[in-house]
Structure 1
Amino acid sequence: MTDKNIVVKFGSLLKEETLEVIDSKILPGTIVLEATNPFPGYYEYYEGIQKDVKPHYIYLVTNKKCDLEEFTRATQKIMSYFEVDFHAAVGTMTIYNDVYHVIRIRRLTKYDQIKDLQSCYLEEGISLKSNASIPHNSKAMIQLDKFFALEELGEGYFCDHIEPNHGYFTIPQKLSWKQFEHLERQVKYNMEMFHFDASLGFIYDNFKAVDMIRIYAENLDLELLKKIKAKFVERIK
């Protein structure tokens, strides 16, 4: 692939994850959660494969919804001096009908970096939520608003330029989460033991919202994406 095949799009991703509260190595009184198994649809079939991959996806709970420009500029500045090349996105998570605003962090190399990163965001004017209680091992619906760096594999097919094993394909219409879950179960049942994790999203492209599905699996390629998309599309009504 050359840089000409890479497109950067803004959009959103919706997924369901189980989050664990982190109690140590964070700023006192703040709320930090971790998705210890961020791709359950795939890794549930391969027990233990993620044990040594830590930290996983980290969620810093903020005091209010982050203004996108303010968040982007703060993150841009922090990345210029922070010790690791982390990635961040803003979003919301819903747990038992309670909605929290979050910054999702990935690519930290040790838990000690969480507290330092929280301090950096505070210094850049991003306030963190305190004095709230979230149960351990909570199931959450997470919506992330983020930039996608996509390599075009073919019309309507992409792989992630930054994160390995992430693929995307467009779908002809918007799906509710309930519709998506139903379709996902049907597709997985008919995939001949090929396991993958999926989430729902869209990107803005050419003044339109283009719906898509994100697939995570080891050794994912265009052929597999085409097979999965075909099984989804034939069931979308």
Structure 2
Amino acid sequence: MKQKIHLSGIIIKHEKLEQIKLNIPDNIYIAEASTPYANYYGQLPRTAKPNSIFLFTKKFHFLEELICFSSSVEKCLFERINIACAIVESGGKQYPAIRIKNFPDYSQLAKLEICLQEKNIKFVEKIHLDERVKTIVSKPFVLEEIEPNFYLDLIEEHKGYFVVERHFDPEEFEASIAQIRYNGICKLFDAEQGAVYSGGKLIHLIRIFSESLDLDMLKCLSKEFSKL
């Protein structure tokens, strides 16, 4: 029987967000990750849209606050969505947002807006984002520890994690990924940094996405990261 581990933490990405322009009553600013898992799929992702959707808010809302009313939002949409809080960094500024995954389709975004406004969420009408931004998503994790320091995600398919000693700066992290991919020792993958809080301490993680994900692959990548 799988033992579920429930944790809260963050995933940090450097990605491209594109505005979603919709004909809805309130002209709020909504953006979507246009190239999710870019290091795996290349610049033409094969995942079905919608992907990660960001609704920008006038103030920051904590993860616990969103979880408190997420069940009523899901009921309103008649679908099971994945809701999290986020900060988007662009041009030296930070913009609070609500990140939504597993969203049914674009046509229901207006309904989502109404649901969230009923919870006194106020949205931003217009912002300017750089071509590439930093997103910090605070979310709940449900993991299975398959071996010490190696985990599989029990909510999102094809995702796993391994523990590293520290956080890498963006340039160092990108260079490490490029070196591992160039060597071709491990299977094709996409990687991002993350962290969870467990047992009174912060644990740094590397999140791996791959349709060929298994323990051997996680161990291969962990070994290559430790070398670098």
Instruction: Give the alignment's TM-score, normalised by structure 2.
Output: 0.93
More moved, 143-152 vs 67-76:
67-76
For the residue of structure 2 that corresponds to 1:138, the secondary structure is: coil
TM-score by length of 1: 0.89
Structure 2 counterpart of 1:133, from 115, 118, 127? 127
State which of 31, 37, 43 in structure 2 corresponds to 1:33: 31
For the 8 Å contact 1:57–1:106, the answer to whether it is kept is yes
1:188 corresponds to 2:181: yes
1:77 and 2:72 are equivalent in the alignment: yes
What amino acid does structure 1 have at the position aligned with 2:209? Y
Distance in 1 between residues matched to 2:63 and 2:104, nearest whole Å: 26
SS in 1 for 2:144: strand
Aligned residues: 228
Residue 193 of structure 2 is matched in structure 1 by: 200
Change (3 A) 1:27 1:234: farther
Deviation at 1:185, TM superposition (A): 1.7
Aligned: 1:123 with 2:118? yes
1:113-138 Cα deviation digits (max 9, x unpaired)? 111111111101221112x2335x83
Deviation of 1:155 after TM superposition, in Å, equals: 0.6
Q: Report whether the alignment pairs 1:169 with 2:169.
A: no
- 1:142 offset after TM fit, Å? 0.4
Counterpart CA distance in 1 for 2:72 and 2:97 is 19
Deviations 1:155-184 (A, max 9, x none): 111111011111100002232223222222
Point out where structure 1 has 5 or more consecutive residues left out of the alignment. none
Deviations along 1:67-117, one digit per CA (max 9) or x if unpaired, are 333222122332244311010110111122232111111111210111111
Is the aligned partner of 1:231 residue 2:224? yes
C-alpha distance 200-193 of structure 1, shift in aligned 2 (>3 A): closer
Deviates more, 1:149-158 or 1:80-89: 80-89
Tell me, yes or no, if the aligned pair for 1:25 and 1:111 is still in contact at 8 Å. no
Further displaced range: 211-220 or 178-187 = 178-187
